[in-house]
Amino acid sequence: MPAINRNPTSFLGEEYKALVDQELDWRLRILQGPSSTRCIVDGKKVLMLCSNNYLSLSTHPKLIDAAIRSIKTHGVGSGSVRPIAGNMDLHIELERRLAKFKHAESSLVYTSGFTANSGLIPQLVGKEDLIVSDELNHGSIIDGVRLSTAERAIYKHRDVTDLGRVLNEAEKHAPAYRRILVITDGVFSMDGDIAPLDGIVKEAERHGAMVYVDDAHGEAVLGEGGRGIVSHFHLDHKRVHVEMGTFSKAFGVIGGHISGSKDLVNFAYNKSRTWLLTASHPPPVAAACIAAIDVLENEPQHVKTLWDNTNYFKKGLVGLGFNTGNSQTPITPVIIGENATAKKFSQRLYELGVFALPIIFPMVPKGTARIRTIMNSALTKNDLNDALAAFEKVGKELSVL
C-alpha cells in the first residue's frame, strides 16, 4: 500500500520554484494610479508602451462621468446573474447600442472575453462535430475548444490554402460531421498580424462551415470608426456568424461580447453557462461601456491618431534596424531573440523610463523572444521620440542593433 502523502499541496511550491529557476514566472509590477501614457509603475514615472488601452478611453471624462452617474442611480453592483435578478436596463441598453454599432441584428455581453470563448464554443459544437482552428489562436480560444467534445483540426497560421486542405479532408470523414466551426483570432496578440478573414469566409462557405472570429484586439482599432475586423473586410454577420470582442482593451473598461444574428444571441444566453451563472456587470461598468460607444461614434480622431502614432513608431523602429516581424496593427513586436536578452532589454528600458514587457518562450517560439509594444492614441510625438531613443540606446548596449 503506498504511503499517505502528508502534504498533498507540496507540488504547488515545487512547481512554482521550477518556474522561478527557469525564469518563466511572472513577476508582477504595480501600476499606482490610472492607466495613462505617463504613469507610475513600482514608484517610477514611466512611459506606458504595453497597455491594451489603445484609445486611452479608461481615463476619458465621458466614461468617468457615466460611471459615477450610474452609481448614484443604480448602485455599485447588480445583485445577481442576469437570468434571475441582475438584468438591468443598463445591460439591455448596452447590448442595443453595441448591436447598432456593429451593424448586427443582436449582441450579448459577457463578463469577459475569456468567458465568452470558454462558454460559447463548447455549446456551438459537440461530439459529432469538428472545430478547425488557426495554429496561433489565443489561449481563451484553445480552452474553449478543449471544453468541447468536438474533434479538432489545426490549419497553418493565416494560411487559407491550408484551411482549404483541412476542410477538404473533413468532407471525407465518415460519418459526415454534423457541423464544422472555423475559428480564428482577428488580430494575433503576439505578432500584431491580421487574419485574412475574407479568404477564411470564402473557404468556409465552400464547405458549409460556421465562422467564429475573436476580435479582441481589433475592437475600436480596425474597420469603419473602429467597428472591428468584420467591418475592416466589408463583411457582415450573415457570413461571419460569431464576432466575439472585448470591452477591456480599446474600449477602456472590461467585459466580453458577441454579435451576430438574433438566433445566435437567443441560443447563447440560454445555453452558455459562463453567461447564465456569472453575476452581471456592475452598473458603472455597463454605463462606461455605453459611453465608450458614444465616444467612438462622435470622436473619430482617437482611432485616426492611434494609426498615425502606429505608423510613426513602426517606421522609427525599422529605421533604427529593429525587426518588427509581420505586424499590421498597433501591436508591434521588437524581436530580440533569446529570453535572457529580452528580459535585460525590458529592464533597461524601465530604467530609462519606458515600460514595455518581454514576451518569451513558451509564449512565443524559441529564439523569437521580443519586447511587445502597443500604441496609444494619447501618445505625443515627443513621447514616441523618447521611446525610440530609449530603444536605440538599449539596442546598442545589448548588441541587438
Calculate the alpha carbon distances from 261 to 232, 239, 268, 391 in Å.
19, 11, 11, 46
CA dist., res. 164 & res. 363, Å (int) = 27
> What is the grid cell recorded at 302?
482617437
Confirm if 121 and 183 have CB atoms less than 8 A apart.
yes
Catalytic status, residue 249:
yes
- Catalytically annotated residue among 60, 91, 241, 249: 249
Q: At CB < 8 A and 24+ separation, what contacts does 134-137 make?
A: 134/158, 134/183, 134/184, 134/185, 134/195, 136/185, 136/188, 136/190, 136/191, 137/183, 137/184, 137/185, 137/214
CA dist., res. 235 & res. 281, Å (int) = 30
Give me the sheet containing 354-355, strands edge to edge.
38-41, 44-48, 354-355
Closest by alpha carbon to 192, among 82, 333, 60, 368?
Answer: 333
Residue 177 DSSP class: P
CA dist., res. 21 & res. 19, Å (int) = 5
CA dist., res. 192 & res. 375, Å (int) = 11
Confirm if 133 and 184 have CB atoms less than 8 A apart.
yes
- Catalytically annotated residue among 189, 259, 280, 377: 189
- Catalytically annotated residue among 60, 102, 217, 257: 217
Catalytic status, residue 393:
no
CA dist., res. 213 & res. 219, Å (int) = 12
Catalytic status, residue 217:
yes
- Which residues are CB-neighbours of 391 under 8 A, at least 6 positions away? 317, 320, 322, 334, 349, 354
- Which positions are catalytic? 189, 217, 249
